[in-house]
Structure 1
Amino acid sequence: MATSIISTAELKALVLDGNKHQMIADNDYLSQIKPIEDALPAIDPSIRFDPSIHLAFKPEHLKTCKRKTMEELGAACPEQISEVGVSEPFPLFTDEAVEIMRSELLRKEVFDEYGRLSYNSTTGLGAMIRGYAKDAAPFTYAAWTHPVTVSAVSAMAGVELEPIMDYEVASVNVAMKSPDAAQNELVSSRRRSSLGNKFDDDVPAVVGWHNDSYPFVCVLMLSDTSKMIGGETLIKPPSGEIIPAEGPAKGKATVLQGRILNHLASIPIVF
């Protein structure tokens, strides 16, 4: 097996240069992202986030949305900060809010400045958009940092949370794939269905198996999932059984104790 070694000095130079070698290619943006941006409804850029209009969370969701404890996941440990390990998707933002977030995100200048290919994407085209919200997406930044939003996410997590690094606010995983990769994933999804929707370690992923630096993460679905297979956040607790946070839908979110729970962002397949 060949091993590639990058020196510390070379790695530092790449980082200081903005990791431009990992930029999303123009042809990939134009073929896979631009058509989505073009289909967006016209958005008034003066709209400001208003939780009474743009937040879909209601107190009753604490009772109607199931949450699995760390103990139920077989992952209880002294380092956990809440009994809650993961929630099923719950309504967080309205359709209007999601469309505004998409309009701020999908611009070419945002992809060029803040988008980079994921280091462990299984297709080689999965990308991450990070560090953009405060400077390039004022609605999105306000939506995630508003005290009412933070209170809603904290309630679902079972512990008081707060955003502490602007760079991580509204970090986005973007699924892109070649036609060959799309076909392979469709075969994989059919194989999974034949196994009773069970998962194995080689699930196609935008971001492969990892743990987060933050104790908790809130994962929001920005896409319409009505014609989509997959897209779940998958969890692999110490037992080794892979557990999906099922039922992602546009505007819904899942909270996950991601520092402790090993997880991945699975690639959705559109049919």
Structure 2
Amino acid sequence: MTVGIQTLYPNPLKSNGLIESYKTYCQDYKIPEKTRENEIKSFVEQIEKTPGFNPNLKFDPKKHIIFNTEDYKKTKTFTLDELKITKTHIKPLNNFGAAFPFKLLSKEAVNMLLWEALQPNVIEEHARLPNLSKNATRLDFHIGNHFLKSQFTNDLARSDELAEIVSTFVGHKMKPVWDMDLVHINVSLATNDLDEELNNYPQSQKEIDEILKRQDASDGQDIPSTLGVHYDSISIPLVIMLDLPEEAQGGQTTIIAGDNTATRVPEPPTGSGTLIQGRVLRHLASKPVTNHNRISFVLSYSTGVVGELDNCVTTSVKPSVLPKNEYNQFYRDWVNYKFTKLENHLKFIKNQVNEDFQNGLGFDQEEFVEKCLKIEKYFKGIYEEMECVDNQPYPPKYFNIPYDEL
């Protein structure tokens, strides 16, 4: 017997903001040759000329993570209440909202992450132009999943030290998510074409100030970015700034606060980290207004509590939306991650029932049914956004709904 799945559309539709070539890894979204040969090549050459640069550098957390415990006290943090967010589209992990820039990685570590990410084979295999963005050009692209073949990046991304820092700030034990979405790099490069493309940027400080003022007064929908206003599909992103020159203006992570205004995270220095509860905060990664690079390195985390189910979805990361995610590996990783969480949760619930019986506490039928309903909802969430089931237009409507109307 074959069970049929009712599909809204036979294939993802470009008119819905989706990628039709998602099963063949979006070959039509590759980085243009001009960008590879001009901006990327010269950037890599600059890194290689850095005194003491070592392409075989090994990750050493004691050397490359420059965060210390005093930084917890020095870092400005916000609760959801302080951001005026009292209604959310899902239940938050807790009241953590955001942590503003804090020192995290050494310059040597930053250079190594950049160098590994911008290698020609990585750009060919793992870099893709954005599908949905505001004012994207040939100079804006995403990189992902290269870290499995890039030893320094891999070791840093999986480090217990970074997970501990994230957990302490958030106030909840956190661990890295599935491989395909553990590392994501957003790239906006300055143009080297000074004859034609430079004219696309404001030519005076007055123009720059006017643009930034308009953006700050807006709800974020028209701010140029590699990723428009959205909720993250994972619980907590750690955003590490790899390149944003001091003279650049704009380019910060921008949070949409509860009063529906855009709140810019202060300009993050190179190597600094910021945190937000991405599943419940609407936000975007704005592009610099000026002709400067903005390269951010994003590590994704979700609950690390034993037996606890995560709140991750595929909304903004599934292959028909985010072209850097290769179809077969994405879903292999997704199933492994979700089923492992489910297996551990089922074991946790079973053991609780047995322990309660052994301790003479009896069986609470209503409580057990409630847990089963949550499991049912979680299991449905594993498949309900897949392309063969749901090809609704992207972005979904709730990305644009003010918090107080949720």
Q: Normalising by the residue count of structure 1, what TM-score does the alignment of the two structures yield? A: 0.88
Correspondence 1:12-91 to 2 at 5 A? 14-40=21-47, 41=50, 43-76=53-86, 77=88, 79-91=91-103
CA distance in 2, matches of 1:89, 1:207: 20
CA distance in 2, matches of 1:12, 1:123: 18
Matched letter for residue 198 of structure 1: D
Deviations 1:107-152 (A, max 9, x none): 12111111111122222322111111112x2111211211011111
Correspondence 1:89-100 to 2 at 5 A? 89-100=101-112
Of 204, 207, 219, the match for 2:224: 204
CA distance in 2, matches of 1:254, 1:12: 30
CA distance in 1, matches of 2:278, 2:243: 22
Shift of 1:15: 1.5
**Residues 181 and 187 of structure 1, relative CA distance in 2, 3 Å threshold:** farther
Q: Aligned-pair RMSD on alpha carbons?
A: 2.5
Matched letter for residue 63 of structure 2: I
CA distance in 2, matches of 1:185, 1:18: 41
Correspondence 1:241-252 to 2 at 5 A? 241-252=261-272
CA distance in 1, matches of 2:275, 2:204: 26
Q: Does 1:229 align with 2:229?
A: no
In structure 1, runs of 5+ residues without a counterpart are 1-5
* Other-structure match for 2:151: 138
For the residue of structure 2 that corresponds to 1:167, the secondary structure is: helix
CA distance in 1, matches of 2:12, 2:132: 22
**Residues 148 and 219 of structure 1, relative CA distance in 2, 3 Å threshold:** same
Q: Does 1:181 align with 2:200?
A: yes
CA distance in 2, matches of 1:172, 1:155: 24
**Residues 141 and 244 of structure 1, relative CA distance in 2, 3 Å threshold:** same
**Residues 162 and 50 of structure 1, relative CA distance in 2, 3 Å threshold:** same
Do the aligned partners of 1:83 and 1:158 also contact (CA within 8 Å) in 2?
no
Deviations 1:82-108 (A, max 9, x none): 322111100111111101111101112
Do the aligned partners of 2:19 and 2:26 also contact (CA within 8 Å) in 1?
no
For the residue of structure 2 that corresponds to 1:141, the secondary structure is: helix
Q: Normalising by the residue count of structure 2, what TM-score does the alignment of the two structures yield? A: 0.60
CA distance in 2, matches of 1:198, 1:185: 19
**How many aligned positions are there?**
264
Shift of 1:157: 2.1
Do the aligned partners of 2:71 and 2:102 also contact (CA within 8 Å) in 1?
yes
* Other-structure match for 2:233: 213
Identity of aligned residues (%): 25
Do the aligned partners of 2:216 and 2:261 also contact (CA within 8 Å) in 1?
no
Shift of 1:80: 0.8
Shift of 1:7: 5.3
* Other-structure match for 2:400: none
Matched letter for residue 82 of structure 1: N
In structure 2, runs of 5+ residues without a counterpart are 1-8, 192-196, 293-406
**Residues 258 and 188 of structure 1, relative CA distance in 2, 3 Å threshold:** farther
CA distance in 2, matches of 1:199, 1:206: 20
Q: Does 1:150 align with 2:172?
A: no
Deviations 1:194-224 (A, max 9, x none): x498342322212111111101111110014
For the residue of structure 1 that corresponds to 2:283, the secondary structure is: strand
CA distance in 1, matches of 2:122, 2:205: 30
Shift of 1:12: 8.2
Matched letter for residue 52 of structure 1: K
**Residues 27 and 192 of structure 1, relative CA distance in 2, 3 Å threshold:** closer
* Other-structure match for 2:3: none
Correspondence 1:3-14 to 2 at 5 A? 8=11, 14=21
CA distance in 1, matches of 2:217, 2:205: 14
Runs of 4+ in 1 over 4 A off after TM superposition: 9-13, 184-188
**Residues 189 and 259 of structure 1, relative CA distance in 2, 3 Å threshold:** farther
Matched letter for residue 254 of structure 1: T
Larger radius of gyration: 2
* Other-structure match for 1:124: 136
CA distance in 2, matches of 1:34, 1:168: 26
Shift of 1:264: 0.6
Of 183, 207, 210, the match for 1:191: 210
Deviations 1:163-197 (A, max 9, x none): 1211122210011464343348977632045x498
Matched letter for residue 149 of structure 1: L
Shift of 1:75: 1.8
